[in-house]
Amino acid sequence: AHYGKDSFQPIHTPEEDEEYMLKPMNCPHHCEIFAWKPRSYRDLPLRIAEFGTVYRYEQSGELHGLTRVRSFTQDDAHLFCRPDQVKQEFLNVMDIIGIVLSAFGFNFEAQISLRDPNDHEKYVGTDEDWALAEKAIVEACQEKGLPAKVEYGEAAFYGPKLDFMIKDAIGRRWQLGTIQVDYNLPKRFQLEYTDEDNTKKTPVMIHRAPFGSMERFCAVLIEHTSGHFPLWLTPDQVAILPLSEKYNDYAQEVAKKFDMGGVRATIDLRNEKLGRKIRDNELKRIPYMVIVGEKEAADGTVAVRPQGGGEQSVKTIQEFIDEVNARVAEMTKDF
């Protein structure tokens, strides 16, 4: 029912008399990969990851920029595991999502999304399976000491989930990362593995997407930061501003050393006053402006001006390269 309700209409080819569907989710394809050959308990956990484009027929009134679209890319993975592995796999994914969101400067709220207790018709699976899945999520949050708000009616049709909610610059809440425990799809796809006692067992499936939708993530990141991206992510980390044209050669020399040192820099060679150059590059959200003139060229230094007009300082070229790289390393140390 979920597949039919949210997907585009089938595409019929008259000559071959075949029908094709635009893929609304990655889960069934990963189930088929699991099922293509016999699996042993020793194979588990089996983790399948994909940046996959999916298509959902959202109502036209629900479409909104990049945050609600009909075609989007999910950083999807499905972890097939034994029941005794569910908790640790879930904890591992929680760590991954926490690292990803923190690296982008997001503060997040956790939300445990459960099924509507008054409307079981729109969900698949037994009450027993739902209870097991909900228990796994609650225990994982407790073990991590992660406060989580419970929302009823927000579960996926096949299982409960832990959603990571972000507020943008104007206070709107968006769901980005998500983890879902699923006892139902493996049964519906008749997935099985041979256990240690040589009996056939059904694996548990964990769905995970740290970014959720890549398009939505990018949109919320831009809104959240107003374009002031983290230093490790921003396209240009430094703008080099020569005071006049006669210092352009030194600016080029500085840029070359920055490039060799792993610092991304652009040079503003326009014949404009320094104030205009600073203002224009501030609007480009470049984290650092490096000003070079007669003294800097003579001493082999740069005058560093942080974005937003922070305290200006003079450093050697290597000192500044080391500072930028140290900041980037600190921000990405858990990657």
Domains annotated on the chain, with CATH = 2-225 (3.30.930.10), 238-331 (3.40.50.800)
Q: Among 165-169, 210-214, 295-299, 306-310, name the most confident range.
A: 295-299
pLDDT for the residue 263: 98
Given 30, 39, 75, 76, which residue is catalytic?
76
d(CA 1, CA 158): 11
Q: What is the pLDDT of residue 8?
A: 64
H helix or E strand, kind and range, residue 92: helix 86-103
**Could you tell me the pLDDT band of residue 67, with boundaries at 50, 70 and 90?**
confident
Q: Is 161 a catalytic residue?
A: yes
pLDDT at 3 over 70: no
pLDDT band at 15 (very low <50, low <70, confident <90, very high): confident
**How many CB atoms neighbour CB 38 within 10 A?**
10
Of 28, 1, 43, which Cα lies nearest the Cα of 190?
Answer: 28
Better pLDDT: 110 or 66: 110
Q: 1: pLDDT confidence band, cut at 50, 70 and 90?
A: very low
Q: Is 74 part of the annotated catalytic residue set?
A: yes
From the candidates 207, 216, 224, 305, give the one annotated as an active-site residue. Answer: 207
**Known active-site residue 228:** no
pLDDT at residue 324, rounded to an integer: 97
Q: What is the pTM of this model?
A: 0.82
29 is an active site residue: no
Residue 82 predicted with pLDDT over 60:
yes
The model's confidence at residue 7, banded by pLDDT at 50, 70 and 90, is: low
